[in-house]
């Protein structure tokens, strides 16, 4: 299943995308769905089996605009 990392900042979304790729996580930038109700319009999409690694990347970086992980229409 796909997971989206939702941010309120476009710059931080794209920085997180770069950090994930550097950590070996296949990811891509996508439009944030309206159901999220937050965001800058750009989220980072990756597969759920990479969630642990993505959380590790997130923990090492000061992303003040991170809103949460979205899966199947709801936040985790």
Confidence band (pLDDT; 50, 70, 90) for 16?
A: very high
How far is residue 17 from each of residues 13, 45, 47, measured CA to CA in Å? 6, 9, 13
Query: Which residue range(s) make up the domain with 60?
Result: 2-68
So what's the pLDDT on residue 36?
85
Residue 27 domain flag: yes
Residue 76 domain flag: no
Q: What is the CATH number of the domain that holds 56?
A: 3.30.70
What's this model's pTM, rounded to 2 decimal places? 0.93
* Mean pLDDT calculated for residue range 46-75: 94
The predicted-structure confidence for 33-54, as pLDDT tens digits, reads as follows 988 888 688 999 999 999 999 9
- Number of structural domains in the chain: 1
């Amino acid at each position: 299943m796909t997971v989206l990392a939702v941010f309120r900042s476009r710059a931080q979304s794209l920085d997180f995308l770069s950090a994930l790729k550097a950590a070996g996580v296949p990811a891509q930038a996508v439009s944030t769905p309206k159901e999220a109700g937050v965001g800058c319009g750009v989220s980072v999409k990756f597969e759920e089996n990479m969630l642990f690694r993505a959380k590790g990347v997130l923990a090492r970086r000061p992303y003040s605009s991170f809103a949460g992980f979205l899966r199947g229409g709801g936040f985790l």
